Amino acid sequence: MPKAKKYTEKFKNFNLIIFGGTGDLAYRKIYPAIYQRFIDGQLTCNYNIIAITRKENHQDIFNKEMESFLSQNVKESNISKNEISLFMKNVHLIRAKEASAEGYKDLKSFLAKFKAYQNIFYFSTPSSAFGPISKALKVSRLVNSESKVVIEKPLGHNLESSISINDDIIETFSESQIYRIDHYLGKETVQNLMVLRFANNLFERAWDSEHIDSIQITVAESLGVEKRAGYYDQSGALLDMVQNHLLQLLCLVAMEPPMALKATEVRNEKLKVLRSLRPFTKDSIRTESIKGQYTRGNIEGQKVNSYLEDIEKYESKTETFVAIKTYVDNWRWKNVPFYLRTGKRMKKRYSEIVINFKQVKHNIFPSKEKMNNNKLIIRLQPEERIELIQMTKIPGPGGYRYKPIALKLDYVDSFEERFPGAYERLIIDVIRGNQTLFMSQDELVAAWTWIETITSNWKNTNTKNVLYEAGSWGPGDGVLMKDESWVTKTWKKK
């Protein structure tokens, strides 16, 4: 076991109450994240983790399941039976059959016994339950001004439903108490985007339409829909990935420097970007968006099913791939295309942001070789790496010959420490009361407003999915994934 660190920051005591406490998200993400912070020695205050379940509560079965999930989801070297049993001393299972004052009786008496500075309610349930749970908490008088609520996407399926979910929650919790998780914001490499941009004068000087030709944001997954067919078929790639993760990445790349690292400042800058996104029209949807669905194929030598087989349906219009070309209509980004693309069952898992700089203004070299433009490649996963592609002279006589060479910074080589997972960082920030890495309701409304220009125009133009083979790079032999000259020139003509 690694030695616990010495943390000087002392948290205020808390009770973390997880609704959906025996669900998949809780077992796979929430408990492993808290356990990891416990192992690292960061939970120095008094606290309780309370798992709320609607089923019969059997603490023994729960403990066993927890042990098995922790072993699967935490690094092997950080797992020990002894530490798990110490951790479990603070984890309690409580039954609440329904969302009502009567249903929350046991929770209420627990919280009366274990008074803490703050009660943090984590809704790890379908969003349809957010309203009823909030209401029942209010009626049970379990919420005060120090309480917080953590919610997860999908926050609705369109603008209207998302506003209605918020309206329900806001009856009980104020905006400053609501923590909307987008786990991409908790990733170390995503946070590093802020440091890369705002702690390096070099890049910021060239971060605009004068110097940048285009920006690509790609999140490719080799996974399919796993056990979430029901949810995914209602959402599709656009709502599952673009509406939140890809737009948040775009915001961090495109926003103006915030005045300070405070939540309001950062969120306001992101909001301006979201509000500047060019809405889609009936015309632009045809030339600047593509959606696709995977058919059977092969991934790393393994045969995999088609999407329809995965969801066990004969028919579905849901897209598992989307590629979009969009613009941020403001002073800094005038006419710079942003390419957003994401897909399931791609050849490999990788997420990256590529900043394509413009060519030099005038080429003084007589060489016939192509002069490539500079590229800054920010690889977010699976490896965390930054590469700067720059032209370099090929040594030796024979005039100036050159070729593109990458200057590489491998995160893992530069830092010995383990990178904390996204949920670790985010949960700790909730305990601290720091909302910087969480979305505001205004951001959500702006994101949905723009997304609806896509969904409504897809509907109006009856845009259909293009099929692509699982294990490929998506529609059109993957041209959308590798070529920034992209849709209009290459793909749409096929």
Q: Which residues are catalytic?
A: 245
Place of tokens 């969801």: 311
Query: Please, what is the Cα angle at 357 between 351 and 361, to 5 degrees?
Result: 165
Q: What is the largest CA-CA distance in the chain?
A: 86
For the chain, how are helix, strand and coil distributed in percent, rounded to 5? 40, 20, 35
Residue 15 or 248 with smaller CB distance to ligand BG6 = 248
What whole-number distance in Å separates Cα of residue 206 and Cα of residue 419?
Answer: 29
**What b/e sequence results for 129-150 when a residue is b if at least 16 CB atoms lie within 10 Å of its CB, and e otherwise?**
ebbebbbbbeebebbeeebbbb
Residue among 224 and 258 whose Cβ is closer to ligand BG6: 224
Q: Quick one: 221 or 387, whose CB is closer to ligand BG6? A: 221
Question: How near is the Cβ of 152 to ligand BG6 at its closest, in Å?
Answer: 9
Question: What span, in angstroms and rounded, lies between the C-alpha atoms of 180 and 437?
Answer: 9
Token pair 């120090």 is found at 146
Measured from the CB of residue 384, what is the shortest distance to ligand BG6 in angstroms? 13
Element (H, E) at 252: helix 247-254
> Least CB distance from residue 240 to ligand BG6, whole Å?
5
DSSP state, 418? P
Nearer to ligand BG6, 54 or 228 (CB): 228
Name the H helices within 351-489: 411-414, 422-432, 441-460, 479-482, 486
Paired sense of beta strands 14-19 and 118-123, if any: parallel
Q: Which residues pair with residue 410 across a beta bridge?
A: 385
CB of 186 to ligand BG6, least distance (A): 9
Whether residue 461 contacts residue 287, with contact meaning beta carbons closer than 8 Å, is answered with: no
What count of other Cβ atoms lies within 10 Å of the Cβ of residue 231?
A: 12
Beta strand extents in 244-336 (DSSP E only): 289-295, 297-299, 302-304, 321-327
- Cβ closest to ligand BG6, residue 221 vs residue 233: 221
* Nearest-approach distance from CB 185 to ligand BG6, in angstroms: 11
Pick the closer one to ligand BG6 by CB: 288 or 319: 319
Q: Which residue is nearest to ligand BG6 (CB)?
A: 240
Tell which residue, 16, 29, 91, has the closest CA to residue 59.
91
Between residues 28 and 358, which has the closer beta carbon with respect to ligand BG6? 28
Give the nearest distance from C-beta 33 to ligand BG6 in angstroms: 13
Which CB, 240 or 288, lies closer to ligand BG6? 240
**Footprint of ligand BG6 (CB under 6 A):** 221, 223, 240
With CA atoms as reference, report the closest residue to 448 among 82, 164, 151, 45. Answer: 164
- E strand map for 316-384: 321-327, 337-343, 350-357, 375-381
In the complex, the smallest distance separating the C-beta of residue 231 from ligand BG6, rounded to whole angstroms, is: 8
Query: 322: closest CA among 348, 293, 349, 295?
Result: 293
Supply the minimum distance, in Å, between the C-beta of residue 441 and ligand BG6: 19
